[in-house]
Amino acid sequence: MPLAHPVGFSPAEISRRVNDDVVSRHAEEAAFLWTLRSRAVTEPHYGLKELARLDERIEAHVSGLRVSPDEGWRHCQKNLALNGAGELFAASVLAFWAGDRGRMREVLFTGCAAPGGTSGLISALGWLEHESVFSWIARLLQARQPLHRAVGLAACAIRREDPSDALVASVRDRHPALRARALRMVGEIKRSDLLDAVHACRHDEDGECRFWAAWTLALNRERAGVTALLPWFEAETPFTMPALQLGLRAMDIKEAQSWVSSFGEDPARARTAVMAAGIVGDPAAIPWLIRRMESSDLARLAGEAFTVITGVDLAYHDLDRDPPVLAPRQNEEATLEETVADLDYESNLRWPSAERVAEWWEKNVHAFTPGLRHLGGQAITPKSALDVLTKGKQRLRAAAALELALLNPEQPLFEVRARGDWQERALHVWNS
């Protein structure tokens, strides 16, 4: 007597349910891993190799969705209700890869309607191969809605593809969000022919436009840009750290050191002073940073600044210590995206041992030249910056990308958030 099929299902029904579960898992995992990636690209413990491995895992799940695109879309569409950027990434990759206009329209309007939703949408447009997506990005650049055009510009920017006339028009557009994205992109891809238009936006009525105009001019080594960034040095805003990261690198070292000193004189700006010392990169600041490592409020930031200048991995060289006992999390039911949002800048930084770091510095101080800016243990040159960009961790790599763009007026800003395999190919060419 033949055995009955489990719970009365036929083999075909069982197979369909198993396949449906697999596709559902692909949709969930693609969203989950992208959310991890969105944090990883700015983390101090992720290098290019780790990022590329994470990207391989994401692509494996994206490929799984492509095997059964209709079933994959059904699950991705259902997950859009979660309003997560990772879920939007998974749905957008599938929709634009398939070229399905209805699905593309849905992810576009969903992404533009949700707070912060465009990050997953733009990342998906930057993820796909050129042949799969270039025609759709071109359509976005000509869209009626300014926010849709801004998405198209951002997609071109992350791919470092020049949108040509669309960028020219966007720099002068009336819509501030589109204008701001265009002003930023002029710097990212070094469209020096548009700098006159950027100068005109230094006094834009929109604050975001003023910032990106200043940032682009500073990246092009224009003193007017550095000067225009200074108001963001004085305030605590979302633009303060990007202003410091570029402005301090673009100015003369003595001027930059004076800013570090002024921050250090204000107890309320102590954290800014420590981070700024790392950005400036003068080894003469190391003894001061070591003293800051004795403060629980400043220790991890001081340890990172020490690493930025010297290139020393605190854990690898046994220069770290156990963290202090922290209070348990109040919300154990937090979603992944809520947990990621709760992670602050210092979450994955090591706690330095001031005593052991001081001993290391005493033995190695002779290898560093005070008054000369360093990054990742080397005096900054095009070759050393490229070496950091190739081998360093993400935060160091972002700094190296800025240094390279500042050293070469024609060099676009290297995109350290791009797909890992694309970055590896580009750097292979640069190093050959």
Q: Which residues contact 238 (CB under 8 A, 6 or more apart)?
A: none
Looking at residue 240, its pLDDT comes to 95
pLDDT tens for the chain, 432 residues long, are: 444 444 554 444 434 544 888 999 999 999 999 999 999 999 999 999 999 999 999 999 999 999 999 999 999 999 999 989 999 999 999 999 999 999 999 999 999 997 777 999 999 999 999 999 999 999 999 999 999 999 999 999 999 999 999 999 999 999 999 999 999 999 999 999 999 999 999 999 999 999 999 999 999 999 999 999 999 998 889 999 999 999 999 999 999 999 999 999 999 999 999 999 999 999 999 999 999 999 999 999 999 999 999 999 999 999 999 998 765 555 555 554 554 444 589 999 999 999 999 999 999 999 999 999 999 999 999 999 999 999 999 999 999 999 999 999 899 999 999 999 999 999 999 988
Residue 393 is given by DSSP the state B
Q: Following CA atoms 154, 159, 165, 167 in sequence, which dihedral angle do they give, to the nearest 10 degrees?
A: 30
Burial class (CB in 10 A: 0-12, 13-18, 19+), 122: buried
Both tokens assigned to 300: 């991890």
Domain boundaries, the chain: 10-160, 171-251
Distance, C-alpha 17 to centroid of its chain: 39
Task: Please check whether residue 242 is in contact with residue 218, taking contact to mean a CB–CB distance below 8 angstroms.
Answer: no
Q: Which helix (H) or strand (E) holds 321?
A: strand 320-321
Both tokens assigned to 337: 């995206």
Q: Region of 7 please: left (phi>0), alpha (psi -120 to 50) or beta.
A: left
Task: Please check whether residue 390 is in contact with residue 431, taking contact to mean a CB–CB distance below 8 angstroms.
Answer: yes
Looking at residue 18, its pLDDT comes to 40
Task: Please check whether residue 84 is in contact with residue 340, taking contact to mean a CB–CB distance below 8 angstroms.
Answer: no
Looking at residue 231, its pLDDT comes to 95
Both tokens assigned to 124: 């998906």
Q: Which helix (H) or strand (E) holds 378?
A: strand 378-379
Question: What's the chain's length in residues?
Answer: 432
For 74, the 3-state DSSP assignment is: helix
Question: At 172, phi and psi to the nearest 5?
Answer: -105, 10
Looking at residue 8, its pLDDT comes to 52
